[in-house]
């Protein structure tokens, strides 16, 4: 049997022209993976989520960039294959390649949010801080875009990879605890 690059070349492209080629295969020694081959020169600077049992990376495959989702726990292959089929279905709805990449990442994050264990109904202090930051950003965005457009741009609550999406502009809001120190002369 040929290598991954040979099996890759036999995968069909998406009808309509842009190349959606996905392959569920062993990714080197790391485990089972899902690959989306990207054209040479594709901008791969997007921020990718970190997950406990999956690696999501941009990497060169056969001399071209690819988005790769790799399963770390080989005992979960059957479930991972189901996840991959759902990711592929989401990507196939995309209008273009950047949209397909975004859809793959967002769908992976939605599964992650659904399945993560130990989640209770209360927000942690860190999650509360993040929500406050998003609401403050949303408030400023309402002043700039109007309420309807700003709320439509707020994709974080839906499990999106970015908190706000306005066409090609993606925004991830980061918050940090502020510490203040008071010095007393004495």
Q: Is residue 26 located within the same domain as residue 107? A: yes
- This prediction has a pTM of 0.53
| Least confident segment among 8-22, 34-48, 112-126 | 8-22
* Residue 21 maps to a domain: yes
| 68 neighbors 35 (Cβ within 8 angstroms) | yes
Counting runs of H as helices and runs of E as strands, what totals does the chain give?
Answer: 5, 6
Q: Are residues 78 and 26 in the same domain?
A: yes
What domain range is 74 assigned to?
4-115
142 falls in which pLDDT band (50, 70, 90)?
Answer: very high
How many domains is the chain partitioned into structurally? 2
Same structural domain, 100 and 167: no
For the cut 70, the answer to whether the pLDDT of residue 169 exceeds it is: yes
CA distance readout (Å), 105 to 93, 156, 171, 184: 14, 13, 15, 50
> Under a CB-based contact definition with an 8 Å cutoff, are residues 100 and 94 in contact?
yes
Do 63 and 101 belong to one domain?
yes
């Amino acid at each position: 049997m040929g290598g991954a690059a040979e099996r890759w070349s036999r995968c069909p492209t998406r009808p309509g022209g842009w190349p959606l080629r996905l392959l569920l295969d062993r990714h080197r020694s790391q485990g089972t993976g899902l690959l989306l081959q990207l054209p040479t020169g594709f901008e791969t600077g997007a921020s990718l989520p970190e997950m406990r049992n999956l690696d999501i990376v941009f990497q060169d495959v056969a001399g071209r960039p690819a988005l790769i989702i790799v399963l770390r726990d080989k005992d979960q292959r059957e479930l991972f294959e189901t996840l991959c089929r759902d990711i592929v279905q989401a990507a196939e709805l995309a209008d273009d390649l950047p949209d397909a990449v975004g859809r793959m990442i967002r769908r992976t994050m939605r599964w992650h949010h659904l399945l993560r264990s130990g989640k209770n109904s209360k927000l942690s202090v860190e999650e509360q801080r993040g929500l406050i930051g998003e609401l403050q950003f949303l408030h400023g965005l309402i002043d700039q875009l109007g309420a309807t457009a700003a709320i439509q741009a707020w994709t974080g609550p839906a499990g999106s990879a970015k908190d706000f999406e306005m066409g090609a502009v993606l925004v991830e809001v980061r918050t940090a605890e502020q510490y203040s120190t008071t010095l007393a002369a004495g």
